[in-house]
Chains A and B, each alone.
Chain A
Amino acid sequence: MSEEQRLRQLLSAPRPSADLERRILEGLPPARSWRHWWGIAASVALMLAVFWPTLGDPLAPFIAHAHAEQGLEGRLAESPRMAGVVLVKHCRVAGRPYLHLRWSTPAGPLDAFYAPELPALPPRGEHGGRAWTVAGLPEGAVLAIHPPGIDPLPWIRKINLKEDT
């Protein structure tokens, strides 16, 4: 037997305890099963279902300002911060007036109802345009939407300047 063989024979001789394998396996942290991930997915789905009325309605935190001229949709689309929204109908819920609004999304038309206690456009003449109160808008009017806290006047001025030219 060569030195190499003797060395290999010696080195291969030690044997671990019979229960080492069991102890190793017991010491491993548990595997996360598909059930675990399905549980997380179900929780997320439940949260989405609960909060969807808020999350799914991008107009909720917005203030609607009205511009009654038809055909402005193309110009409104120029600004990513604004969306062309059509006033579908005036309606009443429990005696209270609401606006039925609809706008286009990649997933299809989206409807929402808003109370018309919204700021009106500035008075006629201040920016050279016509003033409308939201409650008095005709059905089919195109609305422009502004995020809250952002002064809508610059945009209105821009539209009116275009109209003036």
Chain B
Amino acid sequence: MKDSIEKKQSQRQSALRQLGIWTAIWVASQALVVFGGLLVWPDSNLIKIGTLLLNVVLGLKMILANRHLFKKLDELERLLQLEALAWTLGLSMVVGLAYSTLDIINLIPFDAEISYLVMFMGITYSISLIINKKRFE
């Protein structure tokens, strides 16, 4: 039993490392798409589409790595993640649509950018996770 537990812990470390690597690669590819498209190949739509497709594929790999790590978590950790994800999904939908509506009905003087929603999701997820962890301490 000890061997299988040690194996499980080592698989978990490996899954965490893989997620870190795929996240870093995906972020780098995002930078490649944006800065490459604006500064290096502004006239080549073919390269723009190619790098964008690469970015999406790498994003999918990152999602799969996250799913793989999720399977390696223990029952409490899964519950914490699930609750944080539920809050993030729910609040992002409600707040995101409200924010978009502000733009549609001209209550804000600027465009409702998706980057703000992504930031909101990251902050919501982090805060939810911290609160949930405190609850079970």
| Chain B binds chain A | no
